[in-house]
Amino acid sequence: MNRCEHTLWLSWPMPAETNTPYETAMAEISAAQNLPKTVVLKQTHTGDEAYEIRNEAEQIVISGDDAGLLYGVYEILMADGRIENGIRKPAYAYRMINCWDNMDGTIERGYSGRSLWFDNGRIAYDASRIRLLARHLASVGINVICINNVNVHQDALSLIDEHLDDVAELASIFRAYHVRLMLSISFAHPLSDGIATADPLNPAVIGWWERRTALVYSRIPDLAGFLVKADSEGRPGPFTYGRSHAEGANMLAQALQQYGGILVWRCFVYNCRQNWRDTVTDRPKAAYETYQPLDGQFLSNVILQVKNGPYDFQVREPISPLLLSMQKTQLALEVQLAQEYTGQQVDIYEMPPLFKEIWDGMGRDRIMAAAAVSNLGNDMNYTGHPFAALNLYAYGRFASDPDSNPEQVTDDWVRLTYPSFSEQDRKLLAYILMSSRSVYEKYTTPMGLGWMVTPGLHYGPSPEGYEYQAWGTYHRADRDAVGIDRTSNGTGYTRQYPDALCRLYENSETCPDNLLLFFHRLRYDTVLKDGRTLIQRMYDEHFEGVEEVYRMAELLRSMPFPQEDAAVIEERMQRQLINANEWCDVMNTYFHRLSGVQDEHNRKIYD
Amino acid sequence: MNRCEHTLWLSWPMPAETNTPYETAMAEISAAQNLPKTVVLKQTHTGDEAYEIRNEAEQIVISGDDAGLLYGVYEILMADGRIENGIRKPAYAYRMINCWDNMDGTIERGYSGRSLWFDNGRIAYDASRIRLLARHLASVGINVICINNVNVHQDALSLIDEHLDDVAELASIFRAYHVRLMLSISFAHPLSDGIATADPLNPAVIGWWERRTALVYSRIPDLAGFLVKADSEGRPGPFTYGRSHAEGANMLAQALQQYGGILVWRCFVYNCRQNWRDTVTDRPKAAYETYQPLDGQFLSNVILQVKNGPYDFQVREPISPLLLSMQKTQLALEVQLAQEYTGQQVDIYEMPPLFKEIWDGMGRDRIMAAAAVSNLGNDMNYTGHPFAALNLYAYGRFASDPDSNPEQVTDDWVRLTYPSFSEQDRKLLAYILMSSRSVYEKYTTPMGLGWMVTPGLHYGPSPEGYEYQAWGTYHRADRDAVGIDRTSNGTGYTRQYPDALCRLYENSETCPDNLLLFFHRLRYDTVLKDGRTLIQRMYDEHFEGVEEVYRMAELLRSMPFPQEDAAVIEERMQRQLINANEWCDVMNTYFHRLSGVQDEHNRKIYD
Half-sphere exposure of A326 (CA within 13 A, CB side): 29
CA distances from A604 to A463, A480, A540, A597, B485 (A): 19, 22, 12, 13, 22
Q: Which of A167, A181, A50, A155 is nearest to A103 (CA)?
A: A155
Q: What is the pTM of this model?
A: 0.94
Does A607 reach chain B within 8 Å, measured CB to CB? yes
Whether residue B506 lies in the annotated active site: no
Q: How far apart are CA A126 and CA B216, in angstroms?
A: 49
- pLDDT per position as a tens digit, B134-166: 999 999 999 999 999 999 999 999 999 999 999
How many CB pairs below 8 Å do chains A and B form together? 58
Does B464 reach chain A within 8 Å, measured CB to CB? yes
Does B525 reach chain A within 8 Å, measured CB to CB? no
Q: Residue B6 pLDDT > 80, yes or no?
A: no
Question: What is the CA B232 to chain-centroid distance, rounded?
Answer: 18
Q: Contacts of residue A277 in chain B, CB cutoff 8 Å? A: 585, 606
Question: Could you tell me the residue ranges of all domains in chain B?
Answer: 21-88, 94-404, 446-484+521-595
CATH class of the domain whose range is B446-484+521-595: alpha beta
CATH class of the domain whose range is A96-404: alpha beta
pLDDT at residue A4, as a whole number? 35
Residue A596 to residue B478, Cβ atoms within 8 A = yes
Q: Which of A135, A147, A154, A202 is nearest to A171 (CA)?
A: A147
B442 touches B548 (CB < 8 A): yes
| DSSP letters spanning A65-134 | SHHHHHHHHHHHHH--S----EEE--SSSEEEEE--B-TTS-BTT--SSS-SSEETTEE---HHHHHHHH
- pLDDT per position as a tens digit, B502-542: 999 999 999 999 999 999 999 999 999 999 999 999 999 99
B306 touches B335 (CB < 8 A): no
Reported in sequence order, the residue ranges of B100-191 that DSSP labels E, i.e. its strands, are 118-119, 122-123, 144-146, 180-185
Count other C-beta atoms under 10 Å from residue A310's C-beta: 26
pLDDT at residue B234, as a whole number? 82
E strand or H helix that includes residue B211: helix B203-219
Q: Which residues of B449-461 are buried (b: 16+ CB within 10 A; e: fewer)?
A: bbbbbebeebbbb
Q: How far apart are CA A460 and CA A474, in angstroms?
A: 17
Q: How far apart are CA A103 and CA A275, in angstroms?
A: 34
How buried is residue A169: exposed, middle or buried, by Cβ count under 10 Å (0-12/13-18/19+)?
A: middle
Does A585 reach chain B within 8 Å, measured CB to CB? yes
Q: How far apart are CA B130 and CA B14, in angstroms?
A: 12
DSSP 8-class letter at B57: S
Annotate B356-388 with three-state secondary structure: HHHHHHHCCCCCCEEEEECCCCCCCCCCCCCCH
Interface mutation vs chain A, best among B464, B584, B595, most A CBs within 10 Å: B464
Q: How far apart are CA B338 and CA B319, in angstroms?
A: 19
Q: Contacts of residue A477 in chain B, CB cutoff 8 Å? A: 593
Q: Contacts of residue B535 in chain A, CB cutoff 8 Å? A: none
Collapsing DSSP states into helix, strand and coil, what is residue B95? strand
Interface mutation vs chain A, best among B475, B593, B603, B607, most A CBs within 10 Å: B593
Q: How far apart are CA B442 and CA B538, in angstroms?
A: 9
Average pLDDT, chain B: 96
Count other C-beta atoms under 10 Å from residue B280's C-beta: 8
Q: How far apart are CA B560 and CA B418, in angstroms?
A: 9
In this prediction, residues B318-347 reach a mean pLDDT of 98
- pLDDT per position as a tens digit, B272-310: 999 999 999 999 999 999 999 999 999 999 999 999 999
Q: Residue B5 pLDDT > 50, yes or no?
A: no
Q: Which of B143, B212, B154, B139 is nearest to B186 (CA)?
A: B154
pLDDT at residue A6, as a whole number? 57
Does A457 reach chain B within 8 Å, measured CB to CB? no
Residue B464 to residue A464, Cβ atoms within 8 A = yes
Amino acid at A97: I
Does B596 reach chain A within 8 Å, measured CB to CB? yes
Q: Which of B56, B233, B525, B570 is catalytic?
A: B233
Average pLDDT, chain A: 96
Residue B595 to residue A462, Cβ atoms within 8 A = no
Residue A302 has φ and ψ, to the nearest 5°, of -95, 135
CA distances from A276 to A471, A476, A492, B310, B589 (A): 8, 10, 18, 34, 11
CA distances from A382 to A5, A16, A135, A377, A606 (A): 10, 21, 13, 5, 39
B208 touches B192 (CB < 8 A): no
Active site residue ranges of A: 233, 312, 340
DSSP 8-class letter at B29: H
Half-sphere exposure of A538 (CA within 13 A, CB side): 33
Half-sphere exposure of B355 (CA within 13 A, CB side): 32
CA distances from B221 to B224, B256, B270, B302 (A): 9, 11, 35, 18
Query: Which residues in chain A show pLDDT less than 50?
Result: 1-5
Q: Which of A176, A143, A179, A127 is nearest to A25 (CA)?
A: A176
A303 touches A263 (CB < 8 A): yes
Q: Contacts of residue B477 in chain A, CB cutoff 8 Å? A: 593
pLDDT at residue B4, as a whole number? 35
For residue A279, give the nearest of B277, B595, B607 by CB distance: B607
Q: Could you tell me the CATH superfamily of domain B94-404?
A: Glycosidases (3.20.20.80)
Q: Residue B34 pLDDT > 90, yes or no?
A: no
For residue B593, give the nearest of A279, A479, A582 by CB distance: A479
Q: How far apart are CA A347 and CA A375, in angstroms?
A: 14
User: pLDDT band for position B3 (50/70/90)?
Assistant: very low
Residue A596 to residue B465, Cβ atoms within 8 A = no
E strand or H helix that includes residue B286: helix B286-291
Q: How far is A580 from chain B (nearest CA, A)?
A: 14
DSSP 8-class letter at A446: G
Q: Hey, CA dihedral for B365, B368, B373, B378, is it positive or negative? A: positive
Residue B218 has φ and ψ, to the nearest 5°, of -65, -25
Q: How far apart are CA A359 and CA A356, in angstroms?
A: 5
Q: Which of B101, B199, B231, B312 is catalytic?
A: B312
Torsion of CA A124, A127, A128, A134, to 10 degrees: 100
